[in-house]
Structure 1
Amino acid sequence: MPNSVVTPGATGTSDAKFFPSPSFTPSFGLISIGKDGAVLKSSTPIKFSSTINASGLSIAAGKVGSSAEVPLNDAAKFDASSKTSFSDYGLDTESIVYDAARGVVWVSDEYGPFILKIDVATGIILKKYQPGTGAADLPAVLLKRRANRGMEGLSLEVATGKLNGFVQSPLDDGKANYIVPGATAATNESIKDYAKFNRWVEFDPTTEKTKLYAYPIDSTQYTAGKTGNAKLGDMVSLGNGKFIVIEQGTGPDGKAFNKLMLVQVPSNATDIANMSTDLEKSSMTGAAVNGVNYADVVLLKKTQLFDLNNAGWLAEKAEGLALVDENTLALTNDDDFGMKTVIVDPSGAIVVGADVTKCTVDANGALTTTAGVLGCTAGNTMRVARGADTERPNRVWLFKFSKKLSDFNIPS
């Protein structure tokens, strides 16, 4: 995500994102696992109507779901008249769950964040739930999600018919006083970096009502003590308010880790749907903010169930999680379409260690010089390249446990 001038002649910069295949349509499929491995049996494109396919492109600024990112083609240019432009039908689809009772699939999205109700036979979106103030809307506070850190996991608790999900990382809305690790005095820090919890979503499709809960994040488990380095992946329901959640990020040593957490929603968990991001600020300051006190909130309970890295997991991001049977989980990785963005010098050599998110391109797609930032130098070029060998393959892992997953419990 480089920074990019929005349009020729404009001033200022905006975040941006490459779309090498702007005609891409998010789809869902059926995978069969057998002697031939994991085989895709069918694929259904997601549609807004019988004639309008969903897109992966960014949503324009000012509309619900905008990530404030300018869509760039593979030459790092923005062209409003091309296929690589903003789309009202943009989706960043993440998790999927089949609802047999309703004959639909539910899909979570990072842009909105949205929850999509989709006809399983046609792929047509029957309803898109988004944050707002309407009776059926998701809580408006979810509009404060970080760009690309929206609604990640989603699961269906069959007995209640309710959906549970979460926002991938802490919300992004202002700052609060916080003593960062190693400091002796509080400084004004962003809640996206240091808030002590993620927002957990419980949505009832029957009543179209939503509750939010606080999923605690332990800052000591993450690089620089930043909870913003935490990224929740997917989840599955085990029934009776119990779930398995992927929790991952970079640890204090800077290395990526991936864990499965056992999570319980207590019967007395505090519904924080009507609490603003003053709650995130209170979690940092240790005191009430505008009458909202994190100390009064009953949090979700969690404990580590399984360390994926100890089992040989190598990919940076574990994302797809499903229950195969009462003892077995299926897990997939995010392959990022097998691509990554790199910076190359005039000789064509990749500038190792360069971070494209620190760079800026002009309206013609040319890199401009950013003083003191590796690789962000005029004359260098930004390119979409082959992804890392540990990330490119899309794999399905099966994990069989010694007892029913529902029999695991969080210690008292």
Structure 2
Amino acid sequence: MDTIIVLLNRDLRVHDHPALAEACARARTVVPLFVADPGIRGRHRDVFLAESLDDLRSSLRDLGGDLVVRRGDPVAEAVRLATELPAAAIWASADVSRYARRRERRLGEACREHRLDFRLFPGVTVVPPGDLTPAAGDHYRVFTPYWRAWTAEPHRRVLAAPRVVRLPAGLDPGEVPAARRRPAGGLRGGESVARRRLELWVKLCLADYAEGHDELAEDQTSMLSPYLRFGCVSPSEVVARASGHPGADAFVRQLCWRDFFHQVAMAFPELPRRDYRPRQVEWNDDPDAAQAWREGMTGVPIVDAGMRQLLAEGWMHNRARMIVGSFLTKRLRVHWRVGGEHFAELLLDGDVANNWGNWQWVAGTGNDTRPNRMLNPLRQAHRFDPGGEYVRRYVPELAGLPAGLVHQPWKASPKVAGYPAPLVALDNG
């Protein structure tokens, strides 16, 4: 082929990029295209995305090419560029959300109309959603059988970056969206950062992951999920780099959970809107309680610390996510959609499949085999933040309390100034 456009969405990298690698091997010139869709925004994600695009442009220029940026509807802009060049094909990485699949259908129809070759490639997950199915049904509904099938499935080969990317002559690359100031403590976006983080984490931290990944004060998670969400690093490469090292099994299992929720989301596109497994829960419509939860003002320190970390950084420790999610849905009885929408707005790693799959899991309407599971925030706090460092870091009103009281400030005397009484009564049981 003469020219292929590779439409980039959640795959902002040059390493282990099947669509880009195949295009560079098949075509004389290749156009890596990102279309800034004004309908997709997020408070913290705009900065992370802009940094990721800057980094990708630098990598592509090092290979002789460039990142072409346009603004508007991705389908319309990709087809417009294809007709202007002209290009013979538009290729992309397959995704699972309802929005992404609608975009893929529209793009396929537009390519047929304009006689352009259209192909979808793997790369968003380790095992493509739909490749593994149980004997009965179109997808796995329980994780453990999926984990067994996933570990037995041969994984595709991790691909090197293209040796060269040739852009058509005279093509205006356009401007990358400007990055605002990154919030204090926020992660920097980009493939270069992701690959350095992966290398150092595997070398220095992976061996301790199974024992320490739930500790809140010393976050020993890899913090690679935002980079996976934007495709700054390939999940296949993360698995390949970790495998064989001490501690790898527990970590790779988390990557399998990510694949699991992607195959659930593909089979059940209503995951963000309807109960995956209806439980006939009587939800409490309490906007004041929901707002207190969003602001980290519930009066339960471990919950408030997690919610304030999210507000400040666009990130929350995974154990804290479980605690705040269980508190909202099981203690306050507020609908899981309220929590999911707040996370979707703020989380750097809030992709559709994982965000909504995890929220339904916590609420008992999803894939959890124990739907009545309820986490006690006091017991969780004493177990995973025993010294209170995590709470003190994000709830400054409690910074002066000793470890024995920091998780139960309403029992202290005198009362902590400026900190609310708890929304619900709790005990250590």
* Range into which the TM-score falls when normalised by the shorter chain: under 0.3
Which structure has the highest strand share of the two?
1
- Higher relative contact order at CA 8 Å, sep ≥6: structure 1 or structure 2? 2
Larger helix share, 1 or 2: 2
TM-score, normalised to structure 1's length? 0.23
Normalising to structure 2: TM-score of the pair? 0.22
